[in-house]
Amino acid sequence: MAKQLRILFVVSEAVPYAKTGGLADVAGTLPFALQELGAEIKVIMPYYGQIKQKNIAMTCAAENLTAAAGPLSLEFNVLTPAAGDAPFYFIERDEFYERSQLYGTPRGDYYDNLERFAFLSDSVLATCRALAFKPDVIHCHDWQAALVPVYLRHRWVGEALLADTKSLLTIHNLAYQGLFPKEKFPFTGLPPSLFSINGLEYYDKINLLKGGIVFADAVSTVSRGYSKEIQTPEYGYGLDGVLRTRAEAIFGIVNGVDYGVWNPATDPLIAANYDAADLRGKAANKQALMEAYGLDKKLVKQPLLGIISRLADQKGFDLIAAVLPELMARDIPLVILGTGDEKYHLWLEEVGPKYAGKLGVKIAFDNRLAHLIEAGADMFLMPSRYEPCGLNQMYSMKYGTVPVVRATGGLMDTVEPVDAAKGTGTGFVFKEYSAAAFIKALNAAIDAYKDKKLWRKIMLNCMAEDFSWQASAKAYLTLYKRLAAGDI
């Protein structure tokens, strides 16, 4: 029998414990899909205040371990859920993780994020020792865990337990790189020589993600499209040059969907269940959604547009702002759910009341409402400037809510443009990042909606798509095996 692969995830968020975005969905789901394929998985993440508040019974897997954030050598405990077999191990160090948010407030990041995540990264060694776990591959996610590949090469050298361990760094969003002033370099615990062009230095700052890209055995992103885009100046956020030097070791594996959670046939958070064989429940959800947002009932015959999003420049809110007056003038209703940058909070607080009855705005993180939007809207808008993978367009398709997206990254990989004449395709796609191109795609979608037979066909095309985790987990497993075999 083939040897069981041992994989350690190091990650800063995972459902159902703590979430700010798609990373949490991946980190909370992929480990179970990998377990089902026979791998042995453990996940290390911080024990945030948000997790503590959930009052999940925990047992202490190890106590009084020590890790460092440079000169700070501090103790921590490792907690694991008491019930079930969730392979999660939480690093408990309250001074770092017991805060109201994960990374910062809308005003800005926490001042000590370097210390907080250097500590998380360094906790890996003591935790592996305490759990007697010898990983074949450490799978690190985003800048928060990007020091781990650097530590494997430059800090934990000579540690027998990790001597054969390989590292994979997955970039879920290249725009977030973990940048810090150079004066903080001692907190990485790395030799000063690594603050250089071939190490973590980036325009005279510390760049944790860059360190991970340079020293990981392999790098991956969450779609094939994005893995190519990030190697170009347009999408490379200043790291395209570094990424091109690793081109041979860069892979793209698209995220999957947890259909146990996102499925209109079984979803307990929506107004009525439905499936491809019987779409009637969709109308009840549309009604419930319009009521939840206080929209004018007379608009029920119009296509209802939905957005669930972090309120960030990435997500194309300038394009949404540009097309909004036209949509409102034509009585096309739109509901928005999101939190994020303060400037977008202010904008939404201004336009919400202006278009009352047609535009629904909720500035919040509300999982229940997110499910109702997926079920109740007719179309889902994602005019992203860039999109590493994007989950909402895949969720939407399962709910027969047709995506209108920009052709970038994972959106391009997962949404097939509709051909109205043939009745094929799953969404409406535009390429150029402009309001004119966006409104053209919206108009095509609105026209198609008027043709009830065609629209039903597109909805069914969407609902027949299968983005389950199984395929993605298999692709990761293949990559881990190649890494463990020294193939990469």
If we measure between CA atoms, which residue out of 383, 308, 311, 382 comes closest to residue 343?
311
339 lies in the binding site for ligand ADP (CB under 6 A): yes
What angle, 0 to 180 degrees and rounded to 10, lies between the N-to-C axes of helices 342-354 and 317-329? 0
Which amino acid type is present at position 80?
T
Residue nearest ligand ADP, CB atom distance? 22
Minimum CB distance to ligand ADP, residue 383 (Å): 13
CA distance 369 to 391: 16
Among 91, 308, 327, 397, binds ligand ADP (CB under 6 A): 308
Smallest distance from ligand ADP to CB 15, Å: 8
How far is it, in rounded angstroms, from Cα 31 to Cα 11?
12
Asked if residue 390 binds ligand ADP (CB under 6 A), the reply is yes
Q: Return the residues of window 392-451 that contact ligand ADP according to CB under 6 A.
A: 392
Backbone angles phi, psi at 454, to 5 degrees: -65, -45
Is 426 within 8 Å of 402 (Cβ atoms)?
A: yes
Among 103, 355, 365, 433, which residue interacts with ligand ADP (rule: CB under 6 A)?
Answer: 365
Complex with ligand ADP: residue 206 or 429, whichever CB lies closer: 429
Q: Which is nearer to ligand ADP, 250 or 369 (CB)?
A: 369
Q: Which two tokens stand for residue 314?
A: 């990435």
Q: Which of 159, 366, 416, 465 binds ligand ADP (CB under 6 A)?
A: 366
- In the complex with ligand ADP, the residue whose CB is nearer, 77 or 223, is 223
Total of chain residues touching ligand ADP, rule CB under 6 A = 17
CB 185 within 8 A of CB 119: no
In the complex, the smallest distance separating the C-beta of residue 407 from ligand ADP, rounded to whole angstroms, is 16
Structure tokens at 227: 């893995």
Beta carbon of residue 371, minimum distance to ligand ADP (angstroms, whole number): 8
**Terminal-residue alpha carbon distance, the chain:** 23
> Shortest gap between Cβ of 281 and ligand ADP (angstroms)?
20
Per-residue CA distances from 146 to 129, 139, 210, 355 (Å) = 20, 10, 8, 44
Q: How far is the CB of 343 from ligand ADP (least distance, A)?
A: 16
Q: What letter would DSSP give residue 418?
A: P
Candidate segments 76-84, 235-243, 286-294, 390-398, binder of ligand ADP by CB under 6 A: 390-398
The answer to the question of residue 103 lying near ligand ADP (CB under 6 A) is: no
Q: Which is nearer to ligand ADP, 189 or 316 (CB)?
A: 316
β-pair partners for 311 = 340
| Binding test (CB under 6 A) with ligand ADP, winner from 200, 257, 290, 370 | 370
Nearer to ligand ADP, 21 or 357 (CB): 21
> Beta-carbon neighbour count of residue 354 at 10 Å?
11
- Using left for φ > 0, alpha for ψ between -120 and 50, and beta otherwise, residue 288 falls in alpha
CA 392 to mean position of chain CA atoms: 10
User: CB 235 → ligand ADP: shortest distance, Å?
Assistant: 14
Site map 15..54 versus ligand ADP, x via CB under 6 A: ------xx--x-----------------------------
In Å, how far are 69, 206, 212, 258, 449 from 185, measured between CA atoms? 10, 7, 15, 39, 56
Q: How far, rounded to the nearest angstrom, does the alpha carbon of residue 34 sit from its chain's CA centroid?
A: 18
Query: Which residues of this chain interact with ligand ADP, rule CB under 6 A?
Result: 21-22, 25, 308-310, 337-339, 365-367, 370, 389-392
